[in-house]
Copies of this chain bind each other. A is one copy, B any other.
Amino acid sequence: MRLSIDCRLRYDVRAPTSFILAIQAADGADQDVHDETILLPPGITADFFVDAFAGNRFIRFLAQPGPLDIGYVAEVERRSVVDQRDFIGGEVVNDLPLTVLPYLNPSRYCPSDRLTAFARQTFGTRPQGLGQAQAITDWIAASIAYEAGTSSGATSALDTLVDRVGVCRDFAHLGVTLCRALDMPARFVSCYALDLRPADFHAVFQVYLGGAWRTFDPTRRAPLAGLVPIGFGRDAADVAFAATFGDARFEAKSIAIRQLETSSAPGN
């Protein structure tokens, strides 16, 4: 599937501010990025870098006071790599690849150390591995109400578990937290999403199962096949679409994702 992405952000910069943006589609693995354009105002020079830990793509620059418009336009070719297995067992931590171990640790929004008893009690009788990850996803979908404006940047998965309400970011944090509490590596994924209404950034989570990261969306608000991952992190703190250091007010965003016609050209 080929998707076009158009993302625009507007800020009111009040003082010199360092920006670190994570808005570029991830390149490699399940998708290739084509025709990528980053629109920055004249006079701004940006660093484009990939972090060594998770391979995330960041854009960093310093903005001077004034209005600031940022744009990201790209086409992304998604490869369909759906695992059709009904059963994937869990793995003991001793057998996990070393690179996934950090995703067992609790993090800012995913205090998995506190949910061990709850997770074992609620999901412990399900088959380890895919069975538990799927049960967690179903449980979140059934138990947490999706309601815009009910959470903030301070909301952790504990809050969401207690309050039973949140947005995509909170749903993903709770999924990550519960999987880690059952000793399954889990990570937060920021993404673009086809057919999400209203169009916006989206968030889902991945669990390391059967040798690969598998994606779960407890919000069920967009088809998995149309997700375009941006960044992978321990939680939203690692892949904020825009982290600002200085004084900048977010003013507006506009996001559009479209599926492109598949060419009928020979060989395609």
Could you tell me the distance in whole angstroms from the C-beta of A62 to the nearest C-beta in chain B?
A: 4
Q: A214 interface residue, CB < 8 Å from B?
A: no
Give the docked Cα–Cα distance between A260 and B205 (Å).
Answer: 51
A52-B52, A164-B118 given; A238·B93 CB < 8 A: no
Q: Which residues of B contact A47 (CB under 8 A)?
A: 98
Determine chain A's interface SS by DSSP, over half rule.
mixed
Question: Does A92 have its Cβ within 8 Å of any Cβ on chain B?
Answer: yes
- Residues of A within 8 A of B (CB-CB), count: 49
Q: Is the CB of A113 within 8 A of B153?
A: yes
Assess whether B163 is in contact with A20, with CB atoms less than 8 Å apart.
Answer: no
Query: Given A94-B61, A105-B237, A108-B105, are A162 and B118 neighbors across the interface (CB < 8 Å)?
Result: yes
Chain B: minimal CB distance from A167 (Å): 15
Query: Could you tell me the distance in whole angstroms from the C-beta of A120 to the nearest C-beta in chain B?
Result: 9
Q: Which residue of B lies closest to A244 (CB)?
A: B93
Minimum CB–CB distance for A241 against chain B, Å? 14
- With A and B bound together, what is the CA distance between A115 and B145 in angstroms? 14
Whole-angstrom CA separation of A108 from B57 in the bound complex: 23
Contacts from A to B (Cβ < 8 Å):
16, 18, 20, 47, 49, 51-53, 58, 60-62, 92-94, 98-99, 101-102, 104-108, 110-111, 113-115, 117-118, 121, 143, 145, 153-154, 158, 161-165, 183, 234, 237-238, 243, 245-246
